[in-house]
Amino acid sequence: MIATIFHAGKEYRVDLYKPIDISMPLSTNENSTRAWYQNPITMEPVRMGDWIGDINEGGSVNFRTITFNPHAHGTHTECVGHISKEFYTVNAGLKQFFFIAELVTILPLALENGDFVITAKQLEAAMDKEFKTEAIIIRTLGNGPGKLHTNYSNTNPPYLLKEAVEFLNSRGIQHLLIDMPSIDRESDGGKLEAHHTFWNYPHHTDLTKTITEMIYVPNEINDGVYLLNIQIAPFENDASPSKPILYKVY
């Protein structure tokens, strides 16, 4: 199905029958990607007396209770409620679901303290200087399917410097997607400078902006402009498991 979209005064076409899923699956597998010192998710059949919600154990249906943390287990989209005293939910804040996005690939810069970071200069060099997008998708190097099976706890993954987020704000980015568990340093004393900067919290807070973390973009997907569809579950929570989908723009 070919659809026509208009953005910044120009006409583009997308094939809606060719989606590119950049989410990580949620699985009970011990080797599933997770972070923040959490165990893998659990899926347990409901048991009520002699009744069990598992067909293979004699039940009439499969009826499972799932325990997970959206920030720790797989791809998730979050709103400013993640860092705010006020109760904001991603379900209330995200009311549009299609955006023009740019995919860029960046090799994080090594600092003297051993950290790996993404800088404003790197983003400026990677992004199209003329094309205005609503979303940015950051794929970090090295990149490979191992990102689908990584326990990021206590590994100090790459993160964005405050200056990098300020640059993205200056470009009007509303939705930030990255393949790391956080845009901030794993252990920063609770400052979360990148998060606070992106949402301009607590002053001039933008309740509609989102951050999506722990995506995975395979190497065969080229950098460039895409139509992005952010799909979330309707949790009234600061974050929800999500399924971002890309469509190549022609």
Q: Domain limits of the chain?
A: 2-27+70-248
> Exposure of 14 by Cβ count < 10 A (0-12 exposed, 13-18 middle, 19+ buried)?
buried
Predicted local confidence at residue 145, as pLDDT: 95
Determine the Cα–Cα distance for residues 136 and 138; give it in Å rounded to an integer: 6
Apex 164 CA angle, 161 and 166, nearest 5: 115
User: What percentage of the chain reaches a pLDDT higher than 70?
Assistant: 100
Predicted local confidence at residue 8, as pLDDT: 81
Predicted local confidence at residue 9, as pLDDT: 83
**pLDDT over 90 at 10, yes or no:** no
Global pTM reads 0.96
Predicted local confidence at residue 118, as pLDDT: 98
Nearest to 214 by CA among 27, 30, 24, 81: 24
Query: 197: part of which helix (H) or strand (E)?
Result: helix 193-199
CATH code of the domain made up of 2-27+70-248: 3.50.30.50
Determine the Cα–Cα distance for residues 175 and 37; give it in Å rounded to an integer: 26
